[in-house]
Structure 1
């Protein structure tokens, strides 16, 4: 049985639920990203290194 993912909503998401992004980390340490309005829709997967580089880049913008 697959472990349940713990999805976390971005702190930059609006309070009204629009344009929300959620992320979770799976057992292989892949960071998964999805649109909170389409939870059964597609997910993007990133390595921990790629995700870290992304976060550093957008945090310094």
Structure 2
């Protein structure tokens, strides 16, 4: 998995970990589990996708 890949809300989470929205403000985070669905971005967030910040564990 490329750590620069971006995922839209509603897509399936490819790797468990902490994801950050792409708004560039560094304050919107989501802990997601592989196989689950990415949540909507927080209300008022100008971003459009999630990107992996930290893997939960080595796969």
TM normalised by structure 2 equals 0.30
Q: Of the two structures, which has the highest relative contact order with CA contacts closer than 8 Å and spacing of 6 or more?
A: 2
Answer 1 or 2: which has greater strand percent.
2
Higher helix content, 1 or 2: 1
Greater Cα radius of gyration, structure 1 or 2: 1
